[in-house]
Amino acid sequence: MENKNLKSGEFLVEEVPADKVFIPEEFDEEQLMIKQTCADFLETEIYPVHDRIDNMEEGLMPSLVKKAGELGLLGVAVSEEYEGFGQSFVTQMLACDILGAGYSFAVAYSADTGIGTLPIMYYGNDEQRRKYIPKLASGEYLGSYCLTEPGAGSDANSGKTKAVLSEDGKFYVLNGQKMWITNAGFADIFTVFAKIDNDRCLSAFIVERTFPGIIFNPEEKKMGIKGSSTRQIFFNDCKVPVENLLGKRGEGFRIALSILHMGRIKLGANVLGACKKAINESVAYANERKQFGQLISSFGAIKYKLAQQVIKTFVIESAVYRVSNDVDDAIARNKATGMDDGRATIEGISHYAVEAAILKVYGSESLDYVVDESVQIFGGMGYSAETMVEKSYRDSRINRIFEGTNEINRMLVVDTALKRAMKGDFDLFGEAQKIADELPKLQETDITGLDYYSEKLAYIRNFKKAILLVINKASETFGRKLPYEQEILFNISDMIMELYIAESTLLRVQKLEGIRGAESVNLYKDILDVTVYDTASIVQKSGKDALCSFAAGDQLGLLLDGLDILTKVAGVNVKDARRRIADNMIEENKYTL
């Protein structure tokens, strides 16, 4: 098999060998030290004052973010040239992963180090970077990002905030309103998006809190993430020096999209820490709570929930670090062409837009499942505000709205993959036509004599063919009108997401066996067995829903027969597999994988 780095979305038609992906079991000593530093910070600085954070004690959150800066945690993604640590993208994602367990602090931290700092790091000129980035990396300055407006949420480029050049040419004068601005209560530096004159596209500006003409509304009262600062901001003839234009005039929309891609992919890491925190709360309670004279952890219904929590966390983790390493490879290639570090990094991240949207949707919905079942395991106590799982449940909900709603991201998964294919990045349509041509003579895959991983790979290949079959017929039927068939796009998106997650899990387990040996991965194989088995059902159902929405008669019958063949997998004793996964965690009294 040819060894190459797959482009975004290319996994639909190509494969990568297991030994070429990165898995979290490969973290080096430095990465493990950063991981421990992040975990220790939560234990010593965040959890002891969580109630004070939730009550929005004046000055507490910014002081905690600044403490993180003293430990270097704000500069993980900042290059050494600007007094950061210049860590790899995998390491950045690891920090997001661990600190994702920090409830409201995780939101403030992520907004500061991500969308608050990196637009300047990636798109600023050298003067702007030297002026702002070292202070943002140390915590002397804290950052924020102002894109959303009352009439411009998912449709970000429709924002009404205006910028007009002053008569003396020294300032841009901003007028407008921004809402849902994270860290607005204490941030020093804001990346603000506005349209210059009557431009069609946004521009971006670096705005300091001390600039005249900025008014901050009171803190919003929110369902969850109560400890994070969220305010509306009004710009009334706010004067911004012309040298604070970020990037080029009219480049703001591109900057916004690129930063959203980054936010999506990092949210996929953030949810991991939150998932593991909720799982640990769940199993600890299940090992203490007795009903009918037995610990509830001994009940099959509870074991099912615990196992599913583990499975959903493990599989998204597999995908997170797979694509994180792909991003690092892309960054290295960009630097080799002469790009500076900032542009090379954001272009590398933005390239994997399909995978970023997958991680955002699948990760946020997995976290919702995990915390929901945590509350259920706790029973009535889970509904009490005295428990951490109640806070986890409320905090989780925003993730399906953050960084573009899951509905927008579901459409992006398909739309971006199709656009990349039309650009010639990979031959999706040619491969899809091959499947359509083979449909009348399609036969079940013979798995006789295949070893464990070859069998699983055969299933994954068939899932890809099933997706291509649906894409081919949908594109053929609707043509340019396909983007307006949102229900069908959602069906295809769900198929694609399940495929990518299942394939990532397969690659992780296969590589891990190569490192540790077969005896050490039996539990991981249980996760893989359940995942592939469940993926087959979801791909089949989503594909059927899509096909039945536009095909009919003999054509529909042929398509459904082909779909059934391509989603057929051997049966799995999922009850026993899940019980083994749960029993391992119950014995250790924590998430162990």
Question: Residue 274 in contact with residue 309, Cβ under 8 Å?
Answer: no
**What does the alpha-carbon distance between residue 364 and residue 352 come to, in Å, rounded to a whole number?**
18
Q: Which two tokens stand for residue 294?
A: 């037995």
CB contact at 8 A, 582 and 306? yes
Contact 303, 582 (CB under 8 A): yes
Dihedral in degrees, nearest 10, Cα atoms 268, 270, 272, 274 = -140
What interhelical angle do 300-336 and 574-588 show, nearest 10? 80
Handedness of CA 42, 47, 50, 53 (dihedral sign): negative
Task: Give the integer Cα–Cα distance in Å for 443 and 25.
Answer: 38
3-state helix, strand, coil in the chain (%, to 5): 65, 10, 25
Residues in contact with 95: Cβ distance below 8 Å, sequence separation at least 6, in sequence order:
34, 35, 38, 73, 76, 87
CA distances, 19 to each of 485, 517, 529 (Å) = 39, 14, 20
403 carries an active-site annotation = yes
What is the residue-wise DSSP string for 134-171? HHHHHTSS-EEEE--BTTBSSSGGG---EEEE-TTSSE
- 199: which 2 tokens? 């431009």
Alpha-carbon span 203 to 199, nearest angstrom: 9
What are the two backbone dihedrals, phi and then psi, of residue 526, each rounded to the nearest 5 degrees? -60, -45
- Residue 112 to residue 135: CA distance in whole angstroms: 12
Longest dimension (CA), the chain: 81
Name residues whose C-beta falls within 8 Å of residue 113's C-beta, 6 or more positions apart in sequence.
Answer: 73, 74, 76, 77, 143
277 with 141: CB under 8 angstroms? no
- Whether residue 511 contacts residue 465, with contact meaning beta carbons closer than 8 Å, is answered with no
Catalytic residue (choose from 281, 365, 403, 513): 403
- In Å, what is the CA distance from 538 to each residue of 114, 486, 502, 508, 574? 34, 18, 11, 21, 16
Instruction: Give buried/exposed letters for 441-455 (b at 16+ CB in 10 A, else e).
Output: ebeebeeeeeeebeb
393: number of CA atoms within 13 Å, CB side?
A: 19
> Among candidates 499, 481, 484, which has minimal Cα distance to 566?
499
Residue with tokens 């980054």: 262
Residues taking part in catalysis: 403
